[in-house]
Amino acid sequence: MVVQYARRWFTVEEYHRMAEAGILGEDDRVELIEGEVMQMTPIGRRHASCLARLSELFYGAMRGAAIVWPQNPVDLGEYSEPEPDLAILRRQPDFYLSGHPTPADVYLLIEICDSSVEPDRRVKVPLYARGGIAEVWLIDLEQETITVYHDPSSGGYRTARVARRGEQIAPSAFPDRPLPVSDILG
């Protein structure tokens, strides 16, 4: 006999209440993905190094034009609040004190993958597309590539291209601010 258990999905509001009640601690590496509290993988040296490089590159490139938002939440509706490695956001005078950014605020989301790119490619990239995030970069440190996704739909991104060392890429919202792929990958 197979026993079926009903799953219980959490809303973003319930997720925040769990943190306020101490069920989820500030040091817990979790995010809410489609109603499920998901454990995030530990950050390795290559991942941390890439994020530091990327942050420095974007802080310089986006000065005065956008907010650079490293490893902070993005509100994707009632059941999802992922924490991408980096987001480039519309400027807000209060720096999003009044609420986490939503898809309309996001120019670009970036995920960095150290050893396994497939969970982000299968779960987070489609989530971002369904949420209406205009552009996502998936940095694969193993393959030394950056997949650039555009044109979101409910079924995923309609376009994707792979950038490699020797090329430059720029966020679509800022085509005049290209970054060398080699500088991102290190």
Q: Per-residue pLDDT for 116 more than 80?
A: no
Hey, how many other C-beta atoms are within 10 angstroms of the C-beta on 36? 15
List, in sequence order, every residue forming a beta bridge with 39; answer none if it has no partner: 30
Give the per-residue pLDDT at 6: 83
The C-alpha angle with vertex 71 and arms to 16 and 144, in degrees rounded to 5, equals 140
How far is residue 109 CA from its own chain's centroid?
5
- On whether the 43-185 domain is CATH 3.50.50.60, my answer is no
pLDDT of residue 142: 94
Residue recorded with tokens 């009044």: 98
Q: What is the mean pLDDT of the chain?
A: 94
pLDDT at site 3: 78
Better-scored residue on pLDDT, 3 or 142: 142
pLDDT at residue 117 in the model: 86
